[in-house]
Amino acid sequence: DYDVVCPSEYIIERMLRKDLLLPIDTAFGKTPNYISNVSPYIVEQIDATSNNGRIAHHYAVPYMWGTCGILYNKVHVPINDAQTWGTLWNRKYQGKLLMKDSYRDSYGTALIWAHRKDLEAGKVTIPQLMNDYSPAAVATVEKELKALKPNIEGWEADFGKETMTKGKAYLN
């Protein structure tokens, strides 16, 4: 009985599989055929979740993508420090990091950092890493997150910006 829901792409995939979504009416408002205004890369990524003969972008609007990044307080963190995931592991920010309380964000961040040299060399891709749940990958993530632990002030989902504006954390 809902008109609009805002699930993550993995939930969209589940909802498609369980036949819980209706096709989008693309002739809505002043934006007919909205999909022509969306990056082809993003359409390709959302369509990777298609299943049961249903094309995902016929059922979901990819309005936000790639939101995992580094929020930093420029008073305490120079811009050069905030340009890599390595900033999160930098001991000078001990106790000043808020990590997202999100399995997908934490797992991905740890794997990307652990495999940064292989990524730079083109030996592996981010999608390959993000879909690797092998015991070796899980052990790598565990090792990286344990190394990160001294820097973590806390785990957050929605209060990070407020905590940062109060100066209690420098990175999120």
pLDDT for position 138: 96
Residue 9: pLDDT band by 50, 70, 90 thresholds?
Answer: confident
Torsion of CA 44, 40, 8, 105, to 10 degrees: 90
Per residue in 103-135, pLDDT tens?
888 898 999 999 999 999 999 998 889 889 999
Task: Answer whether residue 80 shows pLDDT above 80.
Answer: yes
- Nearest CA-CA partner of 38 in 28, 27, 46, 30: 46
- Nearest CA-CA partner of 155 in 163, 147, 165, 144: 163
* CATH 3.40.50.300, domain 81-165, yes or no: no
3-state secondary structure of 63: coil
On average, the pLDDT of the chain sits at: 87
Structure tokens at 127: 């999608």
Gap between the Cα atoms of 114 and 159, Å rounded: 27
Task: Answer whether residue 49 shows pLDDT above 70.
Answer: yes
Nearest 5°: phi and psi at 96?
-120, 15
Q: Give residue limits of the domains in the chain.
A: 9-58, 81-165
Contact 112, 85 (CB under 8 A): yes
Gap between the Cα atoms of 56 and 23, Å rounded: 9
Contact 125, 111 (CB under 8 A): no
Does the predicted model carry a pTM greater than 0.75? no
